[in-house]
Structure 1
Amino acid sequence: MTALPDWMRPPRAEGWFAEDLDRLPEAPRHTELIDGALVFRLSPQRSWHGRLVTGLTVALMERAPADVRVGREMTIKLDERNRPEPDLLVTTADFDSVRTWFGPDEVRLVVEVVSPESAHRDRTVKLRKYAEAGIPHYWCIEDEDGSPVVHVYELDEPTRAYAPAGIFRGSLRRPVPFEISLDLDKLTPPRRT
């Protein structure tokens, strides 16, 4: 076994803090911070995942009102020890060239597309953390024989927990966080046989 590079060693005994991510240029792209630990995407994403995220990004951008923006590859600073990077988010904040994260109060919707390596985090850990941070809407998208299935959650403010708001196959219609109507089957091209 080889020694860890110096940049992988936490700067303090308590582990990593959210601001440390901005000081790790050596870290792989899409490095997240969960409970003070760095989380790396170790395996390449499947093409289905990439096509779905791109298709959904474009579809939401086409439908988004002028006061919201759709983004990818940005982290959300949930607190001092958690800075996950969702596959997609909808925010009320402006994008600028130096910004590296959004606060939970600026995010209206978080979307995670489940991959084999992220399944546990997406279905349980992030579900709980996004709700506790007060993000109003969460979509967890699963691959069901090549078709997207969207599990939609809405925040129950008093408990700071998500309540299931529906499971969508084929099409999705939602009035929040803005009026959305999607043909889910068109988000990913059909598989060639």
Structure 2
Amino acid sequence: MATRYRFGLEEYERLFRGVKNVELLEGEVYRMSPIGPKHAWSVARLSRIFTEALGNQAVVWPQNPIRIPPHSEPQPDLALLRPKDYREALPTPEDVLLVVEVADASLDHDQGLKLSLYAQAGIPEVWVLDLKANRLHVHRAPKAGVYTEHRILLPGEAAEPLAFPGVRVLWED
């Protein structure tokens, strides 16, 4: 009989250090989808918008890991973090103000397992940019492991991060 093996954070970091395109979600290692040009452009555009708009008010954290003890270390496409130095330790949910996932081939994964993981961790807001349907899903107000608010934005509509009212991100085609 085969059994699954669940990795803890320390073991994952030791065994998979330097391995690209993997992330730890609820104790299991997942290979991430390859990044295509539209995906890469979206991450670069959002990184620029947030860096210019927020300056030192937040750390813009593109495609880097977040530690969610005891068994997860996702790598969202972008996160906005509380301003502090993260050289000695990866950010944890208490540091995260916003997570953005850009979904081309990964929409079901991002809207399922990863969204649930972020909600359980209490991350206040997650945006999922659906490149195929050309929509931005804004999820807010985590409670009991789910986001209780979900809004869908279409091209031409603007989103504002909860942590930074007045910072408008225009979703465009």
TM-score by length of 2: 0.85
1:139 corresponds, among 127, 130, 133, to: 127
Letter in 2 for 1:82: S
Aligned to 1:105: 94
Distance 1:34 1:156, change over 3 A: closer
What is the number of equivalent residue pairs in this alignment?
168
1: CA distance between counterparts of 2:52 and 2:12? 32
Give SS of 1:71's match: strand
The answer for unaligned runs of 5 or more in structure 1 is 1-12, 189-193
Aligned to 2:149: 164
2: CA distance between counterparts of 1:126 and 1:53? 18
Q: Is the 8 A contact 1:30 1:40 kept in 2?
A: yes
Task: Kindly provide the CA deviation profile for residues 4-45 of structure 1, in whole angstroms up to 9, marking residues without a partner as x.
Answer: xxxxxxxxx84311122321356532320012111112x531
2: CA distance between counterparts of 1:52 and 1:168? 15
Letter in 2 for 1:69: V
TM-score by length of 1: 0.77
Of all paired residues, the percent bearing the same amino acid is 26
2: CA distance between counterparts of 1:181 and 1:86? 21
2:37 corresponds, among 36, 43, 47, to: 47
Root-mean-square deviation (Å) = 2.3
1:129 corresponds, among 91, 97, 117, to: 117
Task: Kindly provide the CA deviation profile for residues 52-75 of structure 1, in whole angstroms up to 9, marking residues without a partner as x.
Answer: 010011101111263311111221
Letter in 1 for 2:65: T
Distance 1:96 1:76, change over 3 A: closer
Aligned to 1:7: none
Task: Kindly provide the CA deviation profile for residues 48-101 of structure 1, in whole angstroms up to 9, marking residues without a partner as x.
Answer: 0000010011101111263311111221211211111100001004244444x2
Aligned to 1:31: 22
1: CA distance between counterparts of 2:14 and 2:78? 23
Q: Greater Rg, structure 1 or structure 2?
A: 1
The answer for unaligned runs of 5 or more in structure 2 is none
Please state if 1:20 is matched with 2:5. Answer: no
Letter in 2 for 1:92: R
Give SS of 2:110's match: helix
Distance 1:173 1:120, change over 3 A: closer
Letter in 1 for 2:34: P
Q: CA deviation at 1:164?
A: 2.8
2: CA distance between counterparts of 1:151 and 1:165? 7
Task: Kindly provide the CA deviation profile for residues 83-136 of structure 1, in whole angstroms up to 9, marking residues without a partner as x.
Answer: 11100001004244444x2110110101101121x2222011111110110100
Aligned to 2:107: 119
